[in-house]
């Protein structure tokens, strides 16, 4: 029997495709598990668990306490901590995004909406929000819309996770049916991030909060990262 998308869930997908600012991918990701076919869930889980370092990551379940921006600002220039501090401040980013997402996640989990989400993925999505901006710092992808697209593709290449897959489906659906003028830059960003993520060492399972005093250049060298700085945009 050919697999199909649940039609009730399809309405939720359309909400995200129509207006991802109002109905973000983070909501779609959490809503999906009530409708996800078991064989699809298991396929994602099998691919994820087969990744190098994934089992150690899942066994340890490291989750850091919230970072203090003032303390980060006191790290030496050139360290991961100092670079992260400036990335957050210079881009006017929300420093508590991981905490805010965790509150949403726990509310949905307590209500039973996430009962079909594997425990491994419950931890992974929470940890993913914690390290997202560290990945920006290491890869050199900026916080612009296309820098964000590239980083999601990079992370999908390294993690094979449904949250990033949903980002790709949202982006490619919108460029196909609603914003054809974005085909060039969106595909440049996706391909740049995907190829970059497959080429360098895996950085999605690291405990960045324990490395704040390390020089950023050393971390990049260790994982073979030559930061792109920005993604190439099509004319």
- Three-class HEC string of 17-55: HHCCCCCCHHHHHHHHCCCCCHHHHHHHHHHHHCCCCHH
The C-alpha atoms of residue 204 and residue 200 are separated, in whole angstroms, by 11
The C-alpha atoms of residue 24 and residue 95 are separated, in whole angstroms, by 19
Nearest residue to 39 via CA among 107, 116, 123: 116
- pLDDT, residue 92, reads 85
pLDDT tens-digit profile, the chain (235 residues): 677 899 999 999 999 999 999 999 999 999 999 999 999 999 999 999 999 999 999 999 999 999 999 999 999 999 999 999 999 999 888 767 788 899 999 999 999 999 999 999 999 999 999 999 999 999 999 999 999 999 999 999 999 999 999 999 999 999 999 999 999 999 999 999 999 999 999 999 999 999 999 999 999 999 999 986 556 544 3
- Residue 10 tokens read as 């399809």
- pLDDT, residue 31, reads 96
The C-alpha atoms of residue 130 and residue 111 are separated, in whole angstroms, by 23
Rounded to the nearest integer, the mean pLDDT of the chain is 93
- pLDDT, residue 235, reads 37
pTM of the shown model: 0.94
The C-alpha atoms of residue 112 and residue 114 are separated, in whole angstroms, by 5
Q: What is the tens place of the pLDDT at every residue in 46-62?
A: 999 999 999 999 999 99
- pLDDT, residue 231, reads 64
């Amino acid at each position: 029997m050919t697999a199909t998308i649940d039609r009730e869930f399809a309405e939720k997908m359309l909400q995200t495709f129509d207006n991802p600012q109002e109905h973000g991918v983070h909501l779609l990701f959490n809503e999906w598990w009530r409708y996800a076919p078991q064989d699809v869930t298991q396929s994602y889980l099998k691919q994820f668990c087969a990744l190098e370092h994934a089992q150690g990551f899942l066994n340890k379940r490291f989750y850091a306490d919230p970072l203090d921006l003032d303390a980060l600002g006191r790290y030496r220039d050139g360290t991961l901590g100092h670079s992260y501090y400036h990335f957050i401040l210079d881009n006017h980013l929300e420093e508590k995004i991981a905490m805010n997402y965790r509150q949403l996640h726990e509310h949905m989990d307590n209500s039973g909406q996430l009962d079909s989400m594997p425990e491994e993925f419950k931890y992974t999505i929470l940890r993913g929000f914690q390290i997202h901006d560290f990945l920006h710092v290491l890869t050199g992808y900026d916080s612009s819309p296309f820098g964000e697209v590239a980083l999601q593709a990079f992370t999908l290449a390294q993690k094979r996770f449904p949250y990033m897959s949903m980002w790709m489906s949202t982006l490619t659906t919108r460029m196909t049916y609603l914003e054809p003028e974005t085909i060039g830059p969106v595909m440049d960003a996706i391909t740049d991030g995907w190829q970059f993520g497959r080429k360098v060492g895996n950085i999605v399972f690291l405990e960045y909060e324990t490395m704040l005093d390390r020089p950023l250049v050393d971390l990049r060298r260790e994982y073979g990262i030559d930061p792109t700085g920005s993604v190439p945009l099509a004319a």
